[in-house]
Amino acid sequence: MSAPILYVDDDQANLVIFESALEGVLPILTANSGPAALEILRSREISVLLTDQRMPGMSGVDLAEIAKVEFPETIRMMITAYSDLNAAIEAINRGQIHLYLRKPWDTRELRLSLQLARERYLVGRKVVEMETRLAATERLYSLGVISAGIAHEIRNPLGAMDANLHFVRQAVGDVQSKLEGIDARLTKKLTDVDEALADCTRSIEAIIEIMRSMELGANASDEGLVDLEEVVGLAVRSLRGRVQRVARLELDLARLQPIRGSRTKLGQVVLNLVINAVEAMDPALRATNQVKILQYARDDAYRLVVEDNGPGMPKDVLARVFDPFFTTKPSGGTGLGLAISRQIVEELGGSIDATSEVGVGTRFVVSLPIPE
């Protein structure tokens, strides 16, 4: 029951009448006192608070005033059998009441008033979610722009260092065996520097490529009906060799109706999730490693699941797995793949969640709205 309406009245008969009038029409909960109502408000999301005014102990005005402070998004309404103008004015001034109703209520008027109030709440919640998502998108894009600029600045000095290292290797090539005879660590250090430069270069190129794909994605013209099974198939074909060197790949894809979205962006999500699974695994355990991709419909949404039986993640790592630039890879990782995947999925009106257990594996679930 999502964001129900809460009706508060100390008269049990009124609660029963209210339930019979609204049952099956709108999601409702009831409470017989102000403290009982606060307990419910503090334990779950409530869209509309409809409270009787005259109750022993805590009045409806008192309850509305507390609710205004603790749950400002909840729509507050009041109902009373007494034609008390002063109570109405006090309720409006102290509790910022959205609407004042009288008992006995007209069932049609009551239903319509509560339905409109709940819709107002849900629209407001959606606006907040969109603002939050927009702020996160802008922040991620800004981070991408900054990191791409830094990457461009670093790439040139790295190129010069690489060229100088190549020159040094050529210059010492003739005496390398003598150097090894003196101190084997000298040539080992050269190799370490070479590998470190290669790691830096790969990371920088990856950041630039990700930023380029974000810019292309923002202007992508491949929006339309997308077959998820086809998207998964293309991603798997492009990664099959890389996956099979590390793990066994298993597909379980139910036949689903096409969804509206971008083939390019959805493909990027699948690629990121599969690559994340593969890179977490130890190639030495290839015989037992497994990556599984599932696709099915459940709970009014399409589910795309990528799960593995790799090492799993501790809770502190799992909590940050979608943070931009967060990575546990010792080198070569940008920490942007999963953050961008979440951005893409949320742009499509969906969500992405991760669960993991150390020593058991990790599971990513992408939920996408079923097309109407």
Report the C-alpha gap between 105 and 108 in whole angstroms.
Answer: 9
Question: What tokens appear for 335 in the block?
Answer: 């920490």
Strand-pairing partners, residue 366, are 304, 352
Specify whether domain 223-369 bears CATH 2.60.120.260. Answer: no
Q: What is the pTM of this model?
A: 0.46
Closest CA to 235 of 304, 176, 179: 304
pLDDT of residue 236: 82
pLDDT at 308: 94
Q: Which long-range contacts (CB under 8 A, 24 or more apart) does 88-91 make?
A: 90/61, 91/53, 91/60, 91/61, 91/64
DSSP-derived pairing of the beta strands 301-308 and 351-357: unpaired
CA distance 220 to 223: 7
Q: 311-353, pLDDT tens digit by residue?
A: 999 998 888 888 877 777 655 455 677 888 888 898 888 999 9
Using H for helix, E for strand and C for coil, what is the string for the chain? CCCCEEEECCCHHHHHHHHHHHCCCCCEEEECCHHHHHHHHCCCCCCEEEEECCCCCCCHHHHHHHHHHHCCCCEEEEEECCCCHHHHHHHHHHHCCCEEEECCCCHHHHHHHHHHHHHHHHHHHHHHHHHHHHHHHHHHHHHHHHHHHHHHHHHHHHHHHHHHHHHHHHHHHHHHHHHHHHCHHHHHHHHHHHHHHHHHHHHHHHHHHHHHHHHHHHCCCCEEEECHHHHHHHHHHHHHHHHHCCCEEEEEECCCCCEEEEHHHHHHHHHHHHHHHHHCCCHHHCCCCEEEEEEEEECCEEEEEEEECCCCCCHHHHCCCCCCCCCCCCCCCCCCHHHHHHHHHHHCCCEEEEEEECCCEEEEEEEEECCC
Q: Characterize the bridge pairing of strands 259-262 and 248-253.
A: unpaired
Sign of CA dihedral 5, 114, 59, 46: positive
* pLDDT (0 to 100) of residue 237: 78
β-pairing verdict for 5-8 and 48-52: parallel
Query: What's the topology of domain 5-105?
Result: Rossmann fold (3.40.50)
* Contacts (Cβ under 8 Å, ≥6 apart) of 189: none
Give me the pLDDT at residue 294, please: 94
Query: Facing residues of 261 across strands?
Result: 224
pLDDT in tens, 252-272: 999 888 888 888 788 888 888
Angle between helices 337-347 and 184-218 (to 10 degrees): 10
Displacement of CA 76 from its chain's centroid (Å): 30
**Domain-by-domain residue ranges, the chain?**
5-105, 134-216, 223-369
Contacts of 44 (CB under 8 A, 6+ apart): none
- The residue ranges of the chain whose pLDDT is under 70 are 1, 82-95, 129-222, 329-335
Residue appearing with tokens 């793949």: 337
